[in-house]
Amino acid sequence: MSEENLLKLVELEEPEHDYHLQEQVGFILRKAHQRHVSIFAAHIADLTPPQFAALAKLRDVGETSQNQLGTLIAMDAATVKGVIDRLKARGLVELSKHEVDKRRLLVNLTAQGRDAIERLIPLARDITEETLAPLSPKEVATFMKLLAKLA
Amino acid sequence: MSEENLLKLVELEEPEHDYHLQEQVGFILRKAHQRHVSIFAAHIADLTPPQFAALAKLRDVGETSQNQLGTLIAMDAATVKGVIDRLKARGLVELSKHEVDKRRLLVNLTAQGRDAIERLIPLARDITEETLAPLSPKEVATFMKLLAKLA
DNA sequence: TTGATATCATTTGCATACGAATGAATTTGT
DNA sequence: ACAAATTCATTCGTATGCAAATGATATCAA
């Protein structure tokens, strides 16, 4: 085939599809996250991952402001408000006003909330384990190290 | 200290906090995904990642049913409908009925949609690059391999 | 062929997720 | 001390994301 014909062929071809959505880190990240949420829901039906995160963090740090809690669990102020509202409606957290700084809304676990999170933590371990099950122990270590760098 | 006192100490201690939310794969996955979405928005302001995914996939496969498209980009039927509705409202995709199978709603790029996705793909490469910037090239290869296993 | 299944799309309801705007309260800088 | 900037919380609007229910159509199986 002549050089001229080769050039024509290239020009007439469909646009190069050398961009593959399924190889992009964002797309795969979204799918991996979806899979995790699905595994979570299969183990813990009555709480979402963000709700669990809020309870688990309150268990760690005790009473904090709503805003501070949001920072700790990587949640927008508007988002954390909704999460806390729903946990409050279910009696798992209680709210109070900060005596000194009147802007702050303090959040804390109720006794029921503490019971719940203590009961759920073993299940959360299973969730982590199942999420990572496709990887060998060595791969898990590598993956977690690299993922942490990206987050 | 006597053995008895040691035991008392242990009993009186706060509950063991050996579950660390920030070390759980689900929590870090959520944060990594958030960071990616934020990088995406900084580069492509007028389209969301799911909207981009829909356009990019339509570019790959051409006209398909809404449902099939959802499968290809890992989206629930209810979710994909919303995404396509918004792309349609902006004139980036067009809908038509399948002649044979009357259940199916065919989706395709408009000329404007094709222009848009071709224009955006170079930006998407930048987004992928920036998302992976914390990793060395070798780490990127390792990470993508392991992430794919989890997704 | 027809009754049971399965598929496609839609709708509703609920739960993140975040930008932007707003108001109240506090802190900072001079 | 006081004006400017910051922080905390709320609200609104928009966009995923998914379960469950529904209706229309198509396929399968006895």
DSSP assignments along B19-46, one per residue: --GGGSHHHHHHHHHHHHHHHHHHH-TT
Task: Report whether A18 contacts B29 (CB < 8 A).
Answer: no
Q: How far is A136 from chain B (nearest CA, A)?
A: 10
A30 close to B (CB below 8 A): yes
pLDDT tens per residue, range B57-93: 999 999 999 999 999 999 999 999 999 999 999 999 9
pLDDT tens per residue, range B15-46: 556 899 999 999 999 999 999 999 999 999 99
Domain ranges of chain A: 39-143
- A-proximal residues of B, 110-129, CB under 8 Å: 118, 121, 124-125, 127-128
- Binned at pLDDT 50, 70 and 90, residue B6 comes out as very low
Local structure of residue B16 (DSSP, 8 states): P
Local structure of residue A23 (DSSP, 8 states): G
One-letter amino acid for residue B21 of the chain: L
Q: Is A65 helix (H, G, I), strand (E, B) or coil?
A: strand
User: Nucleotides of chain D within 7 Å of a protein C-beta?
Assistant: 7-13, 15-20, 23-27
Say if residue A100's pLDDT is above 80.
yes
What is the structure's pLDDT at B13? 56
For chain B, the distance separating the N- and C-terminal CA atoms, rounded to the nearest angstrom, is 52
- Binned at pLDDT 50, 70 and 90, residue A128 comes out as very high
Tokens of A89: 């409606």
Calculate ∠ Cα B48-B139-B21, nearest 5°: 65
For residue B17, give the nearest of A128, A117, A70 by alpha carbon: A117
Is A142–B146 a contact, with Cβ atoms under 8 angstroms apart?
A: yes
CATH class, range A39-143: mainly alpha
CATH code for the domain defined by B26-137: 1.10.10.10
